[in-house]
Amino acid sequence: MARLGMVIDTTRCVGCMDCVVACKTENRVPEGFCRDWIATETRGTFPTPHLEIRSERCNQCDEPPCVSCCPTGASHVEPLGHTVQVSPDMCIGCKACLASCPYGARFIHPDGYASKCTFCLHRVKDGLLPACVSVCPTRCMHFGDLDDPGSEVSRLLASRNHHALLPEAGTGPRVFYLI
């Protein structure tokens, strides 16, 4: 069973936002909301600080508080790719999952249910890459099975320095940033 993850090379990201536009288009994300976004952070220390540009989204956590706090089971772990998903018809819009996510990855869709990045599971089922990964002009986004030591994402993590966001939150994020 694959455990899907994303590895993004921050040294190649130019902040063009093509990934954001592709996601909004592919997933019909309503006006005023987004499932992925670009963040910037100054990292490193004097005299060699640098500006890190990151494409961020739901981290598809291994220990997702958004799932354990959901009172209806709408938020769940999907067997395919071990990804965190939401069943809109089971969601009562209580926002418990929004409050529990340390990454601010979720929003309430105007139709009343919790929404977020799905790793484009509808595309992955058809053998396609997530929309964001497929359009990135610098090819800095990589996607695959973290449990397969021979996958591109595993080989990149084994060979390059990297970090994940808020590891201290204990959620086991599965989006990694090469530095």
* Binding region for ligand SF4 (CB under 6 A): 13-19, 38, 55, 58-61, 64-66, 69-72, 74-75, 84, 86, 91-97, 101, 103, 105-106, 114, 116, 136, 138, 140-141, 171
Four-residue CA torsion sign, 165, 58, 123, 55: negative
User: Which CB, 68 or 149, lies closer to ligand SF4?
Assistant: 68
User: Which CB, 30 or 45, lies closer to ligand SF4?
Assistant: 30
Give me the least distance between CB of 93 and ligand SF4, in Å please: 5
Give me the least distance between CB of 138 and ligand SF4, in Å please: 4
Give me the least distance between CB of 27 and ligand SF4, in Å please: 15
Q: Distance between CA atoms of 5 and 75, rounded to whole angstroms?
A: 18
User: Which CB, 4 or 46, lies closer to ligand SF4?
Assistant: 4
Q: Distance between CA atoms of 149 and 15, rounded to whole angstroms?
A: 30
**CA distance to 2, 9, 76, 175, per residue, from 82 (Å):** 7, 23, 10, 13
In a 13 Å sphere around the CA of 46, the CA atoms on its Cβ side amount to 0
Q: In sequence order, what are the beta bridge partners of 164? A: 176
User: Which CB, 99 or 149, lies closer to ligand SF4?
Assistant: 99
